[in-house]
Amino acid sequence: MINLQRTLELVCESLAFNGKGMCKVADSGFVVMCDGALPGERFIGRVTRKKDNYAEVKKLEVLSAHWNDVEAPCGYASICGGCKTQNLLYETQVKLKNSKCMNLLLMLGSFQRKINKKWLPLESLQIDNGESDEFALGLHAPGFFDKVLNIDVCLLQSDPANKDPELNLSPYNVHSHQGFLTQLMLRTGRNSENGQPELMVNFITSSYKPELLKHLVEKICDLPYVTSIMNNINKSMGSTSVGEEEYTLFAEVLYKLIENCAGLQRDGLEIVLDLFCATGTIGLTLAKRVKHVYGFELVDRAISNARRNADLNGIINATFVKGDLNKIADNFGEYFPKPDLVIADPNLPGMHLKLTKFLLKLKAKRIVYISCNPATCARDLDYLCHDVPEQNVRGCYHLKSVQPVDMFPHTPHIECVCLVELRKNVKSKR
């Protein structure tokens, strides 16, 4: 019997998708999850939460270390919620992620035991509950919406992004809702021609007061690696920022893999349907080798940026349309000619069943599926490739390849690029 506050001696067996250590109670096999536990680690934990089929524990004492223990390269690893598995040998991280992908394909996708095992990786806090008028630049402390770890150097950032900003502005207080600067966002990339670092600086402020930023902007403009400076206004009481981190080198590896999976012909006559296209970057990388790209995305701003990206790159054979792919109408296929290739890059929940059924009816020759969630990826691949009578699904594709990509080392996150091809005995017709 597992009760709240009970203490248990546990051994972590593996990592779950969310990065928590998965353990089993010795006498019953009941599943227990523990944040911060790594495979092979033996520890004492206290039950803090109980569900019907699992419980969560808080680690109290480590009895023996986990497998393949190494010294974390970052001094903030034990207290920062970002790169949680730095003290686990990287090769072991990759093996665990590969095993996670394979097991999900076997269990949820009903596929045979075959998967590409080669990965594509890229080469002291004190939390004070009192109020403070001092800045803290870094990630949120785990479990706190109102505390930020003040990090001097983050190994995820480039050297220019780790420079001391010397802001001299009033920080925004999430409790009193007073203050000017709510967040400072840095986006790092590299110039595609000379390889030099480029930095976009975005000040997220609670109001529009350009005079307060003027001196700082003038100072930053003198730095050779700063290519753009923005000011986003967030007047809400939440801590929402605009945009997300991007690492161009990772994108280049991922996009090259997608291009290889696409198997484009040399005649330049193929039609590409780019679903969940965001700002169009995947489709635009293929545009010069095909007749036309049709991209669909829900977010207005993303569609505007996709069109602008096409203009900036002189691409005239790409059309981007706003549309909710979770609510497609019966006439959705009338917006574009029959595609030879479909690119699907859904978010964590994967594809809606209605969209999956549309693709099965469409019968494009190839589908490249990019996933950030191996569980929903396995489910969607199952629908595309197998008959699932309870969902009224008749699969017509063959799973050709699955390539995990470690875009986020030292975290539990996994990207997968999958290729399915229409079966030879299935006719490709509208």
Element (H, E) at 268: none
Q: b/e per residue, 381-414, with b = 16+ CB within 10 A?
A: bbbbbbebeeeebebbbebebbbbbbbbbbbbeb
Q: How far apart are CA 349 and CA 328, in angstroms?
A: 16
Q: Indicate the length of the chain as a whole number.
A: 430
Residue 242 φ/ψ region, left for φ over 0, alpha for ψ in the -120 to 50 degree band, beta for the rest = beta
Pairwise CA distance, residues 318 & 292, whole Å: 6
CA 386 to the chain's CA centroid: 27
Calculate Rg over the CA atoms of the chain. Answer: 24
Contacts of 39 (CB under 8 A, 6+ apart): 12, 13, 14, 15, 21, 66, 67, 88, 92, 96
**Termini Cα distance of the chain:** 57
Sheet of strand 366-371: strand arrangement:
318-322, 292-297, 271-275, 341-344, 366-371, 415-422, 397-405
Catalytic residues: 372
Residue 309 phi/psi, 5° resolution?
-60, -40
Whether residue 162 contacts residue 155, with contact meaning beta carbons closer than 8 Å, is answered with: no
The H or E element spanning position 216 is helix 210-221
Query: Coil, strand, or helix at residue 96?
Result: helix
What's CA 20's distance to the chain center, in Å?
Answer: 17
3-state DSSP assignment of residue 402: strand
Taking the C-alpha atoms of residue 288 and residue 318, their distance in angstroms, rounded to an integer, is: 10
